[in-house]
Amino acid sequence: MISKIWTEKFRPTKFEDVLGQEHIVKRVQALTNSLNIPHLMFAGPAGTGKSTLALITVKDLFGETWRDNYLELNASDERGINIVREKVKNFARTKSLGNVPFKVIFLDEADALTPEAQQALRRTMENYSTTCRFILSCNYSSKIIDPIQSRCAIFRFKLLEKKDVEDVLKKIAIEEKLTISPEAMEIIYEGSEGDCRRAINIIQSTSSISPTITSELVSTIISNAKPKDIKVVLDYALSGDFQKAREKLLDVMLKESISGQDVIKAIQKEIWNLPIEPEIKVKITEKTGEIEFRITEGSDPFIQLESLLASFVLAGLGK
């Protein structure tokens, strides 16, 4: 059955259909043809084709029986490395079917694992090296410990160019009988931040309202998905009402399940629309950058954002 969800329906199924990563695709295809792949690591931003390439690889290797020889895990969803190990153990117990001498385990978002968990993963990779190949995907290869990196062939995915995303969307538009205005296209690309999956989700969302996709409609969909209440939070802070601001912040983060990083992105963009002096805008941006850094380092996002809000209170006083 063909999926009605476009990110699935239009997911490339052949190596030659993967856009924007030609150099990677060629090398992976060559490895696949030799029927002897090493462990692979796909590093790169979201929505650039990492999972897609992994799926194409196993389908190419195993043909019809790919489902029996493929295990997909997501490190950010599994509760701890022990669960991952348990699943790997059960999967690797039986030998692969067909003429490929191994099975494939795709571990998505491997950089969500702590360094200790990665050490455990490394041992698991070794224990099952005769029967299993791992494909690890991550956003940043720097977050993967060296011993794992050295055991993998590393492929770095590029952020998709505007042209690539547009080609994908145009193809979908023809099949689904949509019209997308050039302005709308522009806004979709901007809203997707080069993430192809997100771009497709945006047009499917919009098309559920109308097949004629205008810039206006797209803007509404995207802004609905954005933490618009961030403006309210900042207004409270600037007016000196810190307690209201922090209350609202928690509210927004919980209700919309947005991460601290998304909040800080929105704040950083909002600064330029605030009624404060240029000098203070620069100062508060510097602070925002520092706070974003602390969050990426693994601090408690809420405490860090509160600290940023306290700086906005100062900004509201002209300091």
Environment class of 287 (CB within 10 Å of its CB; exposed 0-12, middle 13-18, buried 19+):
middle
The window from 21-29, 63-71, 271-279, 306-314 that contacts another protein (CB under 8 A) reads 306-314
Per-state percent for the chain, helix, strand, coil, to nearest 5: 60, 10, 30
Name the token pair of 164. 């690539």
Distance CA 166, CA 183 (A): 12
Binding letters toward another protein, positions 37-76, x by CB under 8 A: ---------x----x---x----------------x-x-x
Query: To the nearest whole angstrom, how small is the minimum distance from the Cβ of residue 34 to another protein?
Result: 26
**Is the distance from CB of 206 to CB of 274 less than 8 angstroms?**
no
17 vs 256, beta carbon nearer another protein: 256
Interface residue with another protein, options 183, 254, 272, 282 (CB under 8 A): 254
Among 256, 268, 271, 285, binds another protein (CB under 8 A): 256
Work out whether 306 is an interface residue with another protein (CB under 8 A): yes
For residue 111, state whether it binds another protein (rule: CB under 8 A).
Answer: no
Task: Tell me how many degrees the CA angle 287-282-262 measures, rounded to the nearest 5.
Answer: 50
C-beta of residue 100 within 8 angstroms of C-beta of residue 62: yes
Alpha-carbon distance 34 to 30, whole Å?
7
Work out the number of other CB atoms within 10 angstroms of the CB of residue 69: 22
Q: How far is the CB of 36 from another protein (least distance, A)?
A: 25
| Contact yes or no for 40/133 (Cβ under 8 A) | yes
Give yes or no for residue 77 binding another protein (CB under 8 A). yes
Residues in the site for another protein, rule: CB under 8 A? Answer: 1, 3-5, 7-8, 46, 51, 55, 72, 74, 76-77, 108-109, 115, 197-198, 201-202, 204-206, 208-209, 221, 224-225, 240, 242-243, 246, 250, 254-259, 262, 291, 294, 297-300, 302-304, 306-307, 309-311, 313-314, 317, 319
